Structure formats: structure tokens, C-alpha cells
A and B are shown apart, each in its own frame.
Chain A
């Protein structure tokens, strides 16, 4: 502890130290739009650390977001980044990946974007086993629009559109994407910054549809309306309630308003990805007539 403090002091004396994740950010766009206590910035930090640790080639990395608070991630990362339409990050990413299979394509979006308006695309991309890395920041609500009920909002929560309490059942996203065919499924909270970075790194090493759910606070809307405190209180809540159960059956990891949050790596399996299956099929059916196109450059 004292060693690291000394180290920090030496660094301070020798001038400003660049944050190691700054190279991944569009610093000219700071300050960002996220509220104090919001968890999205924490996820971006872990994402950047995963990039450093995984030694990912940044030139071949593209990031695609939908709409919402998490949808703004695309605007802050110094990567080829696409802020698409509401719910459609996955189909956009599908076209990007198919046109240039050499790209590493990350979809970075929120729970409402990915599982409500984009729910159809989510399950079909998992079914096809497209080689996409999906990071789903789940703050349990529609934050950008003022805290409405999402498909992920736990039972009995208070939201602006369920002011007397949510009574419709919520999605258990790990269970949904496992059933649809994802090869890698994990869940962490914004308290678990290292585990989150490790999970993102693992997803990069998988070929196929990977889904990482990150439970994240929205102090301005969800936490406040449900009397769950501020960002710091939520960290304490995540620390206390999170139970690490790697390999837990996803049917048992549904979320409740104040109950345990089962975290860990739930699914890690292998099956051929969409483009491998496509190539195999065309080689089988067309033989030498099949012209495999590594990437499309039309200019």
C-alpha cells in the first residue's frame, strides 16, 4: 500500500500521468453526458482495460451502439464507431462483420435497446452464432427517456410508467441468450471491474456470439425512485448481494428488486459460427464455383 502511494507521489512530482485508458477515448468529447454515479463510464473503463490486456488490434476493432445512455458509448471511444438506430445495433454489426470478416465487432448497448426494441435481432444473432461480442449494460430501466419500465425491470419496482409498481414479469437475459444459442454468457456488476474486464477479454477469444450483461446503477432514476440510495450505496448493495456462481444454470439467475444478484460466467461452449457454417456449406454445395471473399472493398 505504502509502496504504491510512494509511486503515485513520484509520478505526481514528475508531471501529469496519462490515464492508460485515455488512448481509447475521444478526449475532445469530454465531459460526457452520463450522470454522477452512473455505471456506464465504469464499464467503458473495464472495456478499455480489456483491450489493453487482450492486446486487441485497435485498427480492426469496430464498436456499434444503439440508442440510449449506453448507446452513447460509441461516441466516446476512439475506434471506428457507429451510433445506429434504436434496437438495431446488432443487425448493423451483422452487415459490418459479414462485409469485412477481419473486423472484431463489438455491440455495446443498453438493456432496453437490446432486449425490447432490439429483442428480435438479439435472439436471431445468437441463433445464427454470428461472431459478435455484445456488451449489455443493464440499468434495469429506460434511463435516457426518464426512467420508464424496461423488459428487464424487476417486479414491484417503481418506474415513471409503472408508478404503482411493475407487475409484468421481466426478462432473465442470460437465460434468453443461452436458449437462443450464445456460446459465451456472463454477468457482472459495475462493482466487479476486474471480472468484467476479464470476461470481455474472454469473449474476444471466443469465436461466436458472446453476451456479457453488466448490472449498472441509474441513481438519477431507478435507484432514486426505488429508494436504493446513490451510486456509492449501489456499490455497497452490489458487493453485499452479488453471489459468484460460475456455471450456474441460467434459469436460476433471474433478478429481483432487492434480492441476490447471481454473477459469474454461466455459459462457455463451442459451436461453429455463422461465417464458418456458410463457408462449409458453399464449399460442399458449390465446390470450385464458390468464390470466397475475405473482405469487400468496392472502391
Chain B
């Protein structure tokens, strides 16, 4: 059963037209989505999100706590969720690495929550103040075991606002941790951000159970693979564990229980992948070459696409808004039509692997960049021209 939709609590919504950076817009998105709890640990270039939250949240009825490290922050927020809050944390690469343990815990316990990662150059301490998009595979695979998450990639401060709301809504709908994969440029660029009136902002409420205490099974599903939640203090006396568990939430270390649970954690997302997938497309039908991109790189790629079109080439644009689950069917459909793919990203080849995996015989050209800046549009253009030559030969 899809949960009933509500509109935002006006107390958290700063309706109006603002000149705001992506980090601040992300914070406003969280407040508009109904989040009243954040736990964080300072790390460049993400800290502005929680700084703004710390300033705003006491005036809208909520709590921010700065924890002693990211290990703590990433599970404090989950305690808050089971206490009844919508909650999130914010970090960048090194902190994201420390949070992997609790992304797994959220996936296993089906704790709806949002992890914001404002990506910077890595590995390790890397480039604290400069951009990268090199945490994309970590977002998908970083914690141990088989699980699924959802990841969104904004490319503007406006989308940092809009898609943060979307991230919270998806987290509640699927009871899954949602990765909000910003990058340093999107986080720090300042642009116009329009925040609509609260009654125009759709908010997905918690899947709270309507069952009686006697009838409630914490991990029983209801036809759509997503169980209903209860909160501590309501009398349900339920148990939550990161161990493999049955419908009662009790530990059960058998291959049968493992199979049933882990397959459901995967299929509840995979079966809904087409519905979750958001992308922006332009002139794909006539295109010989499709430029796939996401985040800040999509805005640089736009310049390269324009230059290539000026040379009379048929270039399509596919901008990924949902990175995970990867829009496999969309890519497969384009590949079947014989398109060639060009994929610039601020890493040495991460999401492009997904295209290569799905594209089959269709050619794929990566345009890697080690991070620390954005691509020169000319470098993307060169690869587009090369791809176009291959396409015609």
C-alpha cells in the first residue's frame, strides 16, 4: 500500500525566492521535508548544511547534535528515526567512509533516513575544498553484504532543495537509506532558489502501522515488500537488530531466513527501479551520440553538447538524477537503437561502468577526470567528436 501523501508543515518552509548556495538549499529541503533532527560531524565542504540546520531548527521545533565522529552521527540519526523523527546526516568523503557501517545497518533494519555526501577529491583526505564525483560506487556498494540504496544527484542549488525533499520521501516510501550525492561545486555555488508555499510541497509520511499491539509483526510485508514501522514508546515492544531476522524481528541465522530477507531488501528497490528513476533527456530520438552525465558535470557537458550541435552533429543528452538504482532500462533502450554513449564524470570511471555493463555492443566512451576542478568543455567535445566518427564508420 502506497502511503497517503501530505503537504509540508509550513513552520519548516521558507517560502520565497532566495539567492542561496547548494548546501543551504539542501538544509531548507530537509526542513521542508519535515526533518527535525540531524546529527553531524564537521567536514569540508559539507558543514554549511548542518550549520544552517543548527541555526534554524530550534525555531521550528527540532534538534541538531554535533557528535564526536561520523560513526556516531550516522547511528544517532537512526536512533532518532526510531524515536519518531525524520532525520539525516551530512558529510564528505572521509566521513562517508566512516558511515558505511551504518548505511548497512539502516538497510538491514529498514530505517528510513538520508545521508548527504558533498563529494570532494579523494582518496583519503584528498582535496578537502575541491570537487569530485568519486564516491558514486561507494554510495552503492560501500557497506558489506548485499543491499540496495537509492542515490540522487542534484546539479544546482534549486535541485539541492527539491531533491532533498524527494530523498526524504523516497526514504519513507521504501524504508531505505537514501544517499544525496552532491559535489563541492553544487554545494558551494550560489543561485536562485525558489521555495514554494508549504501546501505545494508533497511530503510522504512514515509508514506507521495501524495494527494493534497484538497483531503487529515488525518485519511482515504487506504486498509491496515494505514493512510498517512502529516507534519506541508506543507499547509495541518490538525488537530491531542488524542480525538476520524473521518477520518478528527476531534473530534467525538460517540460510532460509537470510535468503528471504536479503532478497526482499534488494527486490523492494529493484522492482520499483523504473518508478524511482529520474532523469532529464533532450533530443535522444535523433541522436547518434548520447552524452550521459550527472551533478555538476552535466552543466559542463551541456556546453560541449551545444558546441557539437553547432557543428551539425546529432547529440542527445541524458542527465541522471537518480544514480541508484541505475536506470538500466533507459540505457538498454538507447543501446538497442545503436546509440553511442559518451560519459564524462569527475572520477576515473565509475558510473560509466554501468553503461558499459548494459550497453552490450553499443560503444561507450568515458571522459574521466581525477577531480579538483571540472572538465574543460573542449575535452568532452573532443570525445563527442571521436564518438560521432566511430558512429558513422
Q: Report B-chain residues with C-beta under 8 Å of the C-beta of A298.
A: 34, 36, 84-86, 205-206
Q: Report A-chain residues with C-beta under 8 Å of the C-beta of B75.
A: 84-85, 88, 91-92, 95
The answer for the CA separation of A130 and B15 in the assembled complex, in Å, is 35
Whether the Cβ atoms of A83 and B243 lie closer than 8 Å is: yes
Decide yes or no whether A103 CB sits under 8 A from chain B. yes
**Nearest CB in chain B to that of A296: its residue:** B85
Q: Report A-chain residues with C-beta under 8 Å of the C-beta of B80.
A: 95-96, 98-99, 296
The answer for the CA separation of A297 and B233 in the assembled complex, in Å, is 11
Per-residue contact bits, chain A 177-208, to B (CB 8 Å; 1 contact, 0 not): 00000000000000000000000000000000
Instruction: Report B226-269 residues with CB < 8 Å from chain A CB.
Output: 231-243, 250-251
Q: Report B-chain residues with C-beta under 8 Å of the C-beta of A297.
A: 84, 231
Whether the Cβ atoms of B243 and A99 lie closer than 8 Å is: no
The answer for the CA separation of A23 and B237 in the assembled complex, in Å, is 12
Whether the Cβ atoms of B11 and A291 lie closer than 8 Å is: yes
Decide yes or no whether B67 CB sits under 8 A from chain A. yes
B254 to chain A, nearest CB (A): 15
| Interface size of A as a range | 35 or more
Whether the Cβ atoms of A99 and B84 lie closer than 8 Å is: yes
B329 to chain A, nearest CB (A): 33
Selecting from A71-79, A155-163, A238-246, the interface stretch reads: A71-79
Whether the Cβ atoms of B79 and A64 lie closer than 8 Å is: yes
Q: Report A-chain residues with C-beta under 8 Å of the C-beta of B208.
A: 299
Whether the Cβ atoms of B87 and A95 lie closer than 8 Å is: yes
Q: Which of A62, A95, A299 contacts B77 (CB 8 A)?
A: A95
Whether the Cβ atoms of A81 and B239 lie closer than 8 Å is: yes
The answer for the CA separation of A278 and B34 in the assembled complex, in Å, is 21
Whether the Cβ atoms of A286 and B59 lie closer than 8 Å is: yes
A91-B67, A100-B231, A102-B233 as given contacts; A292 in contact with B83, CB under 8 Å: no
Whether the Cβ atoms of B232 and A62 lie closer than 8 Å is: yes
The answer for the CA separation of A290 and B37 in the assembled complex, in Å, is 15
Instruction: Report B44-81 residues with CB < 8 Å from chain A CB.
Output: 58-63, 65, 67-69, 71-73, 75-81
Decide yes or no whether B105 CB sits under 8 A from chain A. yes
Of the listed residues A81, A282, A293, A298, the one surrounded by the most CB atoms of chain B closer than 10 A to its CB is A298
The answer for the CA separation of A24 and B24 in the assembled complex, in Å, is 47
The answer for the CA separation of A80 and B208 in the assembled complex, in Å, is 15
B109 to chain A, nearest CB (A): 8
**Nearest CB in chain A to that of B35: its residue:** A298
Instruction: Report A25-61 residues with CB < 8 Å from chain B CB.
Output: 26, 29, 58-60
Whether the Cβ atoms of A75 and B241 lie closer than 8 Å is: yes
The answer for the CA separation of A94 and B66 in the assembled complex, in Å, is 11
Whether the Cβ atoms of B241 and A100 lie closer than 8 Å is: no
B241 to chain A, nearest CB (A): 4
Whether the Cβ atoms of B37 and A282 lie closer than 8 Å is: no
A99-B80, A103-B233, A298-B86 as given contacts; A91 in contact with B71, CB under 8 Å: yes
Q: Report B-chain residues with C-beta under 8 Å of the C-beta of A22.
A: none
Decide yes or no whether A7 CB sits under 8 A from chain B. no
Q: Which of A85, A95, A292 contacts B61 (CB 8 A)?
A: A292
B209 to chain A, nearest CB (A): 10
Q: Report A-chain residues with C-beta under 8 Å of the C-beta of B72.
A: 88, 91, 94, 120-121, 124
Whether the Cβ atoms of A290 and B59 lie closer than 8 Å is: yes
Q: Report A-chain residues with C-beta under 8 Å of the C-beta of B102.
A: 85, 88
Q: Report A-chain residues with C-beta under 8 Å of the C-beta of B71.
A: 87-88, 91
| Interface size of B as a range | 35 or more
Decide yes or no whether B132 CB sits under 8 A from chain A. no
**Nearest CB in chain B to that of A95: its residue:** B79
Decide yes or no whether B141 CB sits under 8 A from chain A. no
A193 to chain B, nearest CB (A): 25
Decide yes or no whether B39 CB sits under 8 A from chain A. yes
Decide yes or no whether A133 CB sits under 8 A from chain B. no
Decide yes or no whether A270 CB sits under 8 A from chain B. no
Whether the Cβ atoms of A83 and B239 lie closer than 8 Å is: yes
Decide yes or no whether B101 CB sits under 8 A from chain A. yes
Whether the Cβ atoms of B62 and A296 lie closer than 8 Å is: yes
A48 to chain B, nearest CB (A): 14
A59-B233, A92-B79, A96-B232 as given contacts; A293 in contact with B63, CB under 8 Å: yes
**Nearest CB in chain A to that of B63: its residue:** A98
Decide yes or no whether B82 CB sits under 8 A from chain A. yes
A246 to chain B, nearest CB (A): 32
Instruction: Report A112-150 residues with CB < 8 Å from chain B CB.
Output: 120-121, 124
Decide yes or no whether A289 CB sits under 8 A from chain B. yes
Q: Report B-chain residues with C-beta under 8 Å of the C-beta of A79.
A: 237
The answer for the CA separation of A132 and B51 in the assembled complex, in Å, is 26
The answer for the CA separation of A26 and B249 in the assembled complex, in Å, is 12
Whether the Cβ atoms of A95 and B83 lie closer than 8 Å is: yes
A124 to chain B, nearest CB (A): 4
The answer for the CA separation of A100 and B81 in the assembled complex, in Å, is 10
Decide yes or no whether A82 CB sits under 8 A from chain B. yes
B42 to chain A, nearest CB (A): 15
The answer for the CA separation of A299 and B82 in the assembled complex, in Å, is 12
Of the listed residues A91, A102, A103, the one surrounded by the most CB atoms of chain B closer than 10 A to its CB is A91
Whether the Cβ atoms of B250 and A29 lie closer than 8 Å is: yes
Whether the Cβ atoms of B69 and A84 lie closer than 8 Å is: no
Q: Which of A78, A84, A98, A121 contacts B37 (CB 8 A)?
A: A98
A215 to chain B, nearest CB (A): 27
**Nearest CB in chain A to that of B36: its residue:** A296
Whether the Cβ atoms of A98 and B239 lie closer than 8 Å is: no
The answer for the CA separation of A81 and B57 in the assembled complex, in Å, is 28
Decide yes or no whether A97 CB sits under 8 A from chain B. yes
Of the listed residues B58, B86, B232, B235, the one surrounded by the most CB atoms of chain A closer than 10 A to its CB is B232
Whether the Cβ atoms of B83 and A98 lie closer than 8 Å is: yes
The answer for the CA separation of A282 and B239 in the assembled complex, in Å, is 35
A62-B233, A75-B251, A84-B242 as given contacts; A289 in contact with B59, CB under 8 Å: yes
The answer for the CA separation of A278 and B58 in the assembled complex, in Å, is 10
Decide yes or no whether A295 CB sits under 8 A from chain B. yes
The answer for the CA separation of A151 and B231 in the assembled complex, in Å, is 35
Q: Report B-chain residues with C-beta under 8 Å of the C-beta of A82.
A: 79, 82, 232, 239-241
Chain B interface (Cβ < 8 Å from any Cβ of A): 11, 34, 36-37, 39, 58-63, 65, 67-69, 71-73, 75-87, 101-102, 105, 205-206, 208, 231-243, 250-251
6 contacts between A and B (CB under 8 A): A84-B242, A85-B242, A88-B72, A95-B76, A96-B82, A124-B67
List 4 tightest A-B contacts by C-beta distance, closest first: A95-B79, A99-B83, A95-B80, A83-B241
